[in-house]
Structure 1
Amino acid sequence: MVRLYANDLNIGYGERLIVKGLSAQIPDKKITTIIGPNGCGKSTLLKAITRILPHQSGEIILDGANIVKENTKILAKKMAILPQTPESSSGLTVGELVSYGRFPYQKGFGRLTKKDYEVIDWALEVTGTKDFKFRSVDALSGGQRQRVWIAMALAQETEMIFLDEPTTYLDMAHQLEVLELLQKLNIEQERTIVMVLHDLNQAARFADYIIALKNGEIVKAGNCEEVINHNVLKEVFHIDAEIGRDPRTDKPICITYNLLKGENENEETIYPAHADAAASY
């Protein structure tokens, strides 16, 4: 089932187009990751889909309606987004930050209702941040802070959550913690998760559907087997990748890779690169 899709989308800044003639669909109640080299339009696409950034032409359809014409509060009840580097006002407590997720439901003077407080406590409980409720956000570690931001998105009670590089600046343990939380939300609550990731192996491990971008265009979209393979990675990242199987998930894994020389695919001269199982891009 698809509730959200884009048709012939052009997005840019001024006269410079970043995303060109793109058409894509987001599977409902699944985890979708967007991958691609730096500057290929991943974050731009995410911002356009969530109406943070206007698009020049084309259309983005959610539940049969063009999001450009949708009421802001109604849209905010359907989708929540966490930007790449979310920032909050200094001195806010965790509980205060999470309460911002209730904005689409507030009326009049914006006072929180009993229902609002119940949802806030539930979001804190689900993300394992309830013990931080009265603590300053500034005092939290990177992983704790990211979980609090996710709690705020949950308090918004949307069926779709969009995240722009949610693992950036986190160590390996905290990256896994955040991704497992998102996977849990998808499985147990059927939330549609869409996120930009640099790490190819994290994308393969957690995604049901992957969109690979290059120069603002989709090179390949599909399941992990269809996208995380030698030919697609060669075209998208210009690398010669060695693909194996993850012994825990049996999904494709990039074991190592070399950089290919030049733009001509027929050139087989290779530069060695520092490569490891993380395959971060």
Structure 2
Amino acid sequence: MVRLQTDQLHIGYGDKLIVKDLTLQIPDGEITSIIGSNGCGKSTLLKGMARIIPHQSGIVVLDGVSISKQDTKSLAKKLAILPQTPESAAGLTVGELVSYGRFPHQSGLGRLTKDDVEIIQWAMSVTGTFPFQYTPVDALSGGQRQRVWIAMALAQETDIIFLDEPTTYLDMAHQLEVLELLQKLNEEQQRTIVMVLHDLNQAARFSNHLIAMKDGRIVQSGTAEKVIQKHILQEVFQIDAEIGRDPRTNKPMCITYNLLKGDNQNVEKNASIPALAGSYA
């Protein structure tokens, strides 16, 4: 089943076209990760599909209707997006921030109803942030803050959640914590998760569906087995990768890689990466 898709989508900034003639389908109820080198259009695509930025031509369709024809509140009840570096007002508590997720469902004076409060408390409980409800968001660790933002998205009660590099600036343990939470939300609540990731091995491990991009276009999409392949990584990242298997998930993983010769020939030739750390190409 597909609820969200694009057709011949073009997105740019001014005269510069970033996403070019892009047609894709997002599998419903699965985790999709978008991978690619810096500047390839990953974040732009995510923002375009969420109507954060306008598209120049083409169409984004959600539930059979163009998102450009859906009013803001209706769209916000279906789709939530967490930017790469979300910021909250200084001194805002965890409970206050999570309560903002109820905005699309409020009317009149915007006061929280009993149902709103129950949903907010549930979102904090699911994400393990309930003990921090009266704590200022600024006082939390990076991993805790990410869980609070995810709680806000859950309080929004959308079936689809977009996340732009949710593990950026987090250490390995907190990265795993956030990704396991997203996996749990997907498996237990059938949330459709779409995220931009830089770590190839994390993308392969936690995703049902991958989209590999280069220069605003899709090079390959599908399962990890279909996308994490030597020739695909060569085209997308300009690396000569050695592909193995994750001993815990049996999914493909990038064990090590060399930079391809050419423009990068003055850079150190060999770049090995620990299996657990993943690839940050």
Letter in 2 for 1:147: R
Letter in 1 for 2:271: A
Match of 2:274 among 268, 273, 276: 276
Unmatched 5+ stretches in structure 1: none
Letter in 2 for 1:248: R
Does residue 253 (structure 1) correspond to residue 253 (structure 2)? The answer is yes
State the 1:280 CA deviation. 1.2
Letter in 2 for 1:46: L
Equivalent-residue separation in structure 2 for 1:22 and 1:88 (angstroms): 33
Map of 1:159 onto structure 2: 159
- SS in structure 2 at match of 1:193: strand
- SS in structure 1 at match of 2:37: coil
Map of 2:93 onto structure 1: 93
Per-residue CA deviations over 1:218-256 (Å, capped at 9, x if unaligned) read: 000010000001010011001000000001000001000
- SS in structure 2 at match of 1:88: coil
Map of 2:2 onto structure 1: 2
- SS in structure 1 at match of 2:221: strand
Equivalent-residue separation in structure 2 for 1:25 and 1:250 (angstroms): 26
Per-residue CA deviations over 1:175-201 (Å, capped at 9, x if unaligned) read: 000000000000000000000000000
State the 1:271 CA deviation. 2.7
Equivalent-residue separation in structure 1 for 2:246 and 2:200 (angstroms): 12
Letter in 2 for 1:128: G
State the 1:274 CA deviation. 4.5
Equivalent-residue separation in structure 1 for 2:188 and 2:93 (angstroms): 28
Instruction: Output aligned runs, 1:102-141, within 5 Å.
Output: 102-141=102-141
- SS in structure 2 at match of 1:166: coil
TM (norm. structure 1) is 0.97
- SS in structure 2 at match of 1:45: helix
State the 1:262 CA deviation. 2.2
Does residue 73 (structure 1) correspond to residue 78 (structure 2)? The answer is no
Equivalent-residue separation in structure 1 for 2:239 and 2:140 (angstroms): 38
Map of 2:142 onto structure 1: 142
Equivalent-residue separation in structure 2 for 1:98 and 1:30 (angstroms): 24
Map of 1:212 onto structure 2: 212
Equivalent-residue separation in structure 2 for 1:275 and 1:107 (angstroms): 52
- SS in structure 1 at match of 2:271: coil
Equivalent-residue separation in structure 1 for 2:17 and 2:274 (angstroms): 34
TM (norm. structure 2) is 0.97
Equivalent-residue separation in structure 1 for 2:60 and 2:98 (angstroms): 28
Equivalent-residue separation in structure 1 for 2:37 and 2:157 (angstroms): 32
Equivalent-residue separation in structure 2 for 1:275 and 1:258 (angstroms): 10
Letter in 2 for 1:215: D
Contact 1:10 1:18 in 2 (8 A): yes
- SS in structure 2 at match of 1:226: helix
Contact 1:48 1:54 in 2 (8 A): yes
State the 1:261 CA deviation. 1.1
Does residue 30 (structure 1) correspond to residue 44 (structure 2)? The answer is no
Structure 1 vs Structure 2 CA RMSD: 1.3
- SS in structure 2 at match of 1:261: coil
Letter in 1 for 2:47: K
Letter in 2 for 1:97: L
Per-residue CA deviations over 1:3-49 (Å, capped at 9, x if unaligned) read: 10000010000010001101011000000000000000000000000
Identity of aligned residues (%): 71
Equivalent-residue separation in structure 1 for 2:273 and 2:126 (angstroms): 36
Unmatched 5+ stretches in structure 2: none
Instruction: Output aligned runs, 1:171-182, within 5 Å.
Output: 171-182=171-182
Contact 1:258 1:275 in 2 (8 A): no
Letter in 1 for 2:280: S
Letter in 2 for 1:242: E
